Structure 1
């Protein structure tokens, strides 16, 4: 039996909010927040380890002024109905609460080539701080949904997680449902935050990971779980972990793990968690401007009851 492939740790230096998408062409496509927060880059490689040294293609840059001129955060790449889409957050100023969600589109076969067209802002049911849009296709109904983080008037904190149906890859429609808000002790350290959602449907379940608390060593991940045959807009269908499922590991020198996504190993038979974490605890200044949140990957395991078991960051792959 062949030994399992191991992955570099960290995989890519100074790339926070990572997203790795494996396409049907066999290539992995990578994007993440760049330390300058000034644009969107995409890398392409035939295997995950090769992403580290793959050429970064800067496919879009921030505007000189206006609502997309500051702090370009957390891009993620998807292939939907024959076209490529990148979802990202941008602001009109350095005030983070100015952030809104935007989409660009490319119909080239290879997203590192071709022309990226701006599809504009994703308009939600109210206008407020919003970021970290992700999308998934519900297996049973084949309906596409958007999940994102947004601030809501009357609810204490920076952001809650919401879900809505999608009319097309840049437009939601109908009811906007809250799935979770920061309310547990580990979700409310420094800031009251639920953000960075990612979705994996597997083993008859829908798993939704998210990140919570301030972006220092307190940053950690929670988990929502629903049955695959549920109505995703029914908030009662989602069961919330009462403890973090992925958090700082002092023994493995990984601090503040979070903002995850899912991909698969090259053989396609195992799932991987992609996330960022620092290798030290103490940070000088604002954690958002510390560039050393590195992209990392490790294997996911599942219990006999279907539970997702993430283990500890840095516990091997």
Structure 2
């Protein structure tokens, strides 16, 4: 099968020590009665994304043929929130099909959705890119979404995200470079315009990033530590492999994100499969905080069993991220449906 065909099938058909969940209980029923919750949040939800605005959480995931948002004040009860379709692709054009990996961002009083799409008639790597929609309304589930077009990246690619560091906005994505998928960062002039030259900051050079017959780094996500240090998580290996996992890059506080030499890669995944918890191929994560930024949480997808590959069976899960004394993130071992977890701070 060609590389493009494999990617299409895979995407939607579709170190730091791990801290134990010290307050979690194995008695799931009792813990939930006491205010806990269990993963996954939904039975299906590849490439999940959560952003909070005030006390409201907004959630998106890959749908394949449209963009939809759920909103709730209790993220652990996401299944009770109706799914609202906010955009469908045109019948033809550069963004007509394979609508993947949406991210919703609030920037300068407006909402923006970054998503991956492919051109009509050419659903392959050479015709895949990241696009932007804009909504000036207060509620992203309402109002008009304006198409701001395709970001002019140096390479075709997927999984775009944006972040601000030291007052400057940047864009990161997974770039197709030869047979590999690599991580690239570039500055932004505004939420839909790139500025200057891209920098490749990481390549799939570890054995764990080459599982499933492909060399892949994708799904970059920015995480700023309380002490200002920069972190960037990413997913490594082919998503159809049970060994798909989440890796971590770090850079000192005050670094230039465009300086490739500033970034250091953690040798091993920070989140990997946990067969004892029935969690396989965890990846494509994002981060969000609770009201008042009291807690940092990670959202990611995973399969509930082995050999499920890249299908809608991938489901969204959340877990709290702790910080050690040096300001490094500490990721808990993936928790499955048999292990109840404490709810996020401020949950109603």
Tell me if TM exceeds 0.5. yes
SS of 2:48's partner is: strand
String of CA shifts for 1:198-224, please: whole Å, max 9, x gaps.
Answer: 111122211110001011312101101
SS of 1:68's partner is: coil
String of CA shifts for 1:61-115, please: whole Å, max 9, x gaps.
Answer: 1221222122100000000011000000001233355311000000000000000
Give 1 or 2: higher helix fraction.
Answer: 2
Residue 240 in 1 paired to residue 240 in 2? no
Residue 199 in 1 paired to residue 222 in 2? yes
**C-alpha separation in 2, matches of 1:273 and 1:165:** 25
Residue 301 in 1 paired to residue 322 in 2? yes
Change (3 A) 1:152 1:253: same
Residue 209 in 1 paired to residue 233 in 2? yes
SS of 1:300's partner is: strand
Structure-to-structure mapping, 1:54-133, within 5 angstroms: 54-92=81-119, 93-124=122-153, 126=154, 128-133=155-160
The root-mean-square deviation of aligned C-alpha atoms, in Å, is 1.7
Match of 1:174 in 2: 196
String of CA shifts for 1:252-288, please: whole Å, max 9, x gaps.
Answer: 10000010010123563111110000101023xxx33
User: Which fold has the larger relative contact order, with Cα–Cα distance below 8 Å and residues 6 or more apart in sequence?
Assistant: 2
Task: Provide TM-score, normalisation by structure 1.
Answer: 0.91
Match of 2:306 in 1: 281
**Contact 1:22 1:29 (8 Å CA) reproduced:** yes
What is the deviation of 1:6? 3.0
String of CA shifts for 1:278-314, please: whole Å, max 9, x gaps.
Answer: 101023xxx33x2110010001122222221112111
**C-alpha separation in 1, matches of 2:45 and 2:109:** 27
**C-alpha separation in 1, matches of 2:114 and 2:102:** 5
Change (3 A) 1:51 1:64: same
- Which blocks of at least 5 consecutive residues in structure 1 are unaligned? none
Greater mean alpha carbon deviation, residues 303-312 or residues 274-283: 303-312
What is the deviation of 1:7? 3.4
**C-alpha separation in 2, matches of 1:251 and 1:8:** 15
Change (3 A) 1:238 1:6: farther
SS of 1:123's partner is: coil
What is the deviation of 1:53? 1.5
SS of 1:52's partner is: helix
Match of 2:346 in 1: none
